[in-house]
A = this chain, B = another copy of it.
Amino acid sequence: MRKQLLATCAGALLVAGSHAAMAADGPHKKAIEARQAMFQLYSYHMGLLGGMAKGKIPYDAAIASEAAANLDAAANLGQSTLWPAGSDNSNAENGKTRALKEIWDTYPAIAEKSEQLKEATAVLAQNAGNGLDALKSSIGDAGAACKACHDDYRAKKK
């Protein structure tokens, strides 16, 4: 019984501990949370559009159009305060960020990826409401732009 209790307790502490380790609490907490909110909006709207393109969600022109417009708006947010030096994933106080130090070390190389994303979301915003085929024909470039940045600048999930 006592051994079991210890095991349960260790498990609970592990969960509690991993939660504490995930939340950013250093000087870059606000900037990290803000950029993660931006990525959350990318992800949510790409999820809706991708779901429609794959036939998992019924195509709806109004929703597709709104989702693509939102994605384009999110891709065009100014980011000059969102990436302070030192807010990469090499420091535990930055929490669960997966932003690799390469972003800063190779800057402004990442800006090219950002431009590719904006070009793709602009086309997607024009096309997404014009039928499922139009959505399908333009979502690939947006997905590729997401992936290109993740491949180079985001740590793999642990």
Contacts and interface: CB of A to CB of B under 8 A. Distances in A.
A140 B74 CA distance: 25
A38 to B, nearest CB: 7
Interface residues of A, number: 35
Contacts of A63: 80-81
Classify the interface of chain A: helix, strand, loop or mixed. helix
A55 interface: no
A76 B40 CA distance: 17
Contacts of A70: 77-78
B41 A37 contact: yes
A120 to B, nearest CB: 18
A30 B41 CA distance: 10
A62 B80 contact: yes
B30 A44 contact: yes
Contacts of A80: 62-63, 66
Interface stretch (A10-18, A90-98, A105-113, A147-155): A10-18
Interface of A: 2, 5-6, 8-9, 12-13, 15-16, 19, 30, 33-34, 36-38, 40-41, 44-45, 47-48, 62-63, 66-67, 69-70, 73-74, 76-78, 80-81
